[in-house]
Structure 1
Amino acid sequence: MPSYSRRDALKTIPALAAGLAGCASLTGRDDSLPMPTAWTVDVRTPTRAVRPPSGPLLVGTESQFRDDPMVSALDPATGEERWAVTGGKGRRSPLGFDDRHAYLFSRAERATAVDYEAGERAWSTELTGVDRPDPGVVQYPPAVAGDTVVVPISGVEHDVVDRLLGLSREGGDRRFRADLPASLAGAPAPVPAGDGSQAGVVAPLLDGTLRRFATDGSESWRVDAGPSPSSVTVAGDTVFVGSATEELLALDAATGEVRWRAPLQNTVFSRPLVADGRVYVGGADYFLYAFDAASGTRLWRDELAAPVTRGPTRVDDRLVTVVGSDILVRGHSGTVPFDPTALYVHATDGTLVDEQLFERTPDGGRVNWAVAAGGGVYVGQEWQLARLAPEVLDAE
């Protein structure tokens, strides 16, 4: 396929615009999302929704205002709020979770655990050096590793001491502090214990290194992965990460040894997705890729309309990916706008199922993310959270 074909088509074909306008009319508003939705609710700057296997749909908010809940539980079928927990004034992180609690931290200088079955705060621990104007300090969610919650405190403007803080899952007691030599380049990922190694996290740094830390704060290994690694995914005994060296890397989680490198054509902004022996990753090169997780062999790729900024995420045999929109790029770039913004649905074999272009800002503001959680697909906007209707995943 020529490199200009789909991105030019999405920008120029009037028939597509007319079709999207027709989809928008399903909700009765000209500027609504250009695809059918099961429901929408008003939420100010919602963070990525999560749904524990035995729990409700959980959503946080980046809002700094006290009146906006820091965690809400919603009925996945209707969007109705079951409960909400508020907190102090200050921008909040995305949510981490385990089989009992949701975790977050904020520029109110608190780390908090919420019991999502009871809808009550389980504990709250004071933090220091987090109340800064730096836009990146609460960018990433806490990671749960063994009996420890690892809070990733790291900015992009040199006014924050970059560090990982380990807290007890049960009571929030401080376990360790590991200072970092550089800012985080992406979100750390938890690593289970195994092969004689403790549970811990793998953290990507802007100095080009990947570092594994145990739950006592000790550094287990470090690897030079090249500049600006992406957020990390750990699946089984393998770490997957994208790099500005235009590669996808697979590393042994116990030792850090590189198992394979697969070529891309640009850097990676989002976290790779691993499922059923495949690694799916979207690049700033306008492509969505699938690789064999064991060998690194490329299985397919499909050209999109803009750099992949969120996803892919998976529900059943469908992949949902967002391209374009605004993204905070760690390092010197800051917040970078990409156009156009579009949402794609692919089958896991690479077949394009649906593509929806956001030609103008819809009601609810710009689209910030899309995520699969508990069998549904949710879209977060500046002032709105929506669940997509099931037919979006079945369009042909």
Structure 2
Amino acid sequence: MREAWRVRGLGQGEKARQIRLEGSQLFVAGADGFDVYDAGTGRKRWHYREPGRELTGFAVNKDDLVVASRSEEGDHLTGLAAGTGRLRWERGGDEGTPFTDGPDRRLAMGEGVVPLLVRAEPSGGDEEEEPDEFLALDAATGEERWRRPHHAPSGCDVGTRPAATDTDGSILVFRESCQDDHYLYAFNPSDGRPLWSRTGTSDDSLVGISVRAGATLIELDEHTRTLVGRDDREIANLNGIGECLPPCSLRSVGGGLGLMHFDESRDAAMSVTSRPP
């Protein structure tokens, strides 16, 4: 094998720049923006910077790029054309919080929609609590696509309700926790239609989820795992396969879905199950 091209200056350790391949482009993200390279030749196509703001996440598909950033003035969302970096739209981020998950600043996006969580203002006295909301923005235009109420677990302060999402584009799974209780909600990203919801209890601070081909792996701990289809049907019970090999995530394996884990001898192994219909 012969080296075709190389990108230098990617940093080290926690300061290393994140790399993501989308179609024919390689996105190399840093604290204030990113450089975009032709994946075939290594030639830099374009770059994007937000001086004075910190990049907190981005989502990209073949057409659309959405960037989330933060400064002393607050949160900010920017929509760009993925192929050229042309500015399409901008919005202040104070209306809702986008979802990022994992160390690579991955912003949730599915079916051309970027979801936000809008926290309700706390009510005073005997007034009834207003629900939170899911707000979905069109990745191409920044316009609102849909909005639906979200009734959060009662008895939890906002600061003790960590939340995240995972998606492969076909289904969006939102999770939040209230102490040892965990809640998952799956919905269609294109129109916000609810698909299923689950609850569970674990000593872990957050339940683990991984989405692939419309199937969701739910992990409460190393002994409690299940694979759920888009229609809420349990595809497989994975409780007895052993500790998951980090990161605990589904992989496409031929016509099925695979999960890397440790066996009884602490050797790495992979279990494969059929894809959901």
Instruction: State the TM-score bracket (shorter-chain normalisation).
Output: 0.5 to 0.7
Q: Report whether the alignment pairs 1:258 with 2:144.
A: yes
Per the alignment, do residues 191 and 251 of structure 1 end up closer, same or farther by CA in structure 2, a change over 3 Å counting? same
Of 209, 222, 225, 2:76 maps to 209
In the alignment, structure 2 segments of 5+ residues that lack a partner are 101-105, 120-131, 153-160
What is the CA–CA distance in structure 1 between the aligned matches of 2:240 and 2:77, rounded to whole Å? 36
Aligned amino acid, residue 313 of structure 1: R
Higher relative contact order (CA 8 A, sep 6+): 1
Report deviation, 1:169: 2.2
Task: String of CA shifts for 1:13-65, please: whole Å, max 9, x gaps.
Answer: xxxxxxxxxxxxxxxxxxxxxxxxxxxxxxxxxxxxxxxxxxxxxxxxxxxxx
The equivalent position to 2:172 in structure 1, one of 275, 280, 284, is 280
Q: 11, 20, 24: which is aligned to 1:142?
A: 20
Equivalent runs, 1:85-164 vs 2, <5 Å = 121-127=3-9, 130-134=10-14, 137-138=16-17, 140-144=18-22, 147-154=24-31, 162-164=32-34
Mapped to 2, the partners of 1:189 and 1:252 lie a distance apart of 12
Runs of at least 4 residues off by over 6 Å = none
Cα offset, 1:367, TM superposition: 3.7
| Structure that is richer in strand per residue | 2
**Separation (CA, whole Å) in 2 of partners of 1:122 and 1:185:** 31
Structure 1: which amino acid aligns with 2:88? S
Post-superposition offset of 1:260: 1.5
Q: Please, what TM-score do these two structures have when normalized by structure 2? A: 0.65
> Please, which of 135, 141, 150 is the counterpart of residue 249 of structure 1?
135
Give the equivalent residue in structure 2 for 1:372: 251
Secondary structure of 1:274's match? coil
Task: Kindly indicate whether residue 270 of structure 2 is the aligned counterpart of residue 387 of structure 1.
Answer: yes
In structure 1, the partner of 2:40 is: 170
Post-superposition shift, 1:124? 0.9
TM norm structure 1: 0.48
Change (3 A) 1:264 1:131: farther
CA distance in 1, matches of 2:90, 2:223: 36
Q: Is the 8 A contact 2:209 2:217 kept in 1?
A: no
**CA contact under 8 A between 2:133 and 2:147: conserved in structure 1?**
yes
How many aligned residue pairs are there? Answer: 230
Q: CA deviation at 1:257?
A: 0.7
- The 1-side partners of 2:3 and 2:200 are apart by 42
Q: What is the aligned partner in structure 2 of residue 303 from structure 1?
A: 199
Amino acid at match of 1:376: L
1: CA distance, partners of 2:14 / 2:257: 33
2:228 maps to: 346
> Structure 1: which amino acid aligns with 2:54?
S
Q: CA deviation at 1:344?
A: 2.3
Paired AA for residue 319 in structure 1:
T
Letter in 2 for 1:219: L
Cα gap change, 1:272/1:123 in structure 2, threshold over 3 Å: closer, same or farther?
same
1:287 counterpart letter in structure 2: Y
For the Cα contact (< 8 Å) 2:109–2:167, is it kept in 1? no
Cross-structure match for 2:213: 314
The two structures, once aligned, show a CA RMSD in angstroms of 3.6
Q: Which runs of 5+ in 1 are unaligned?
A: 1-118, 155-161, 193-198, 325-339
Change in CA separation of 1:142 and 1:347 when aligned onto 2, cut-off 3 Å = closer
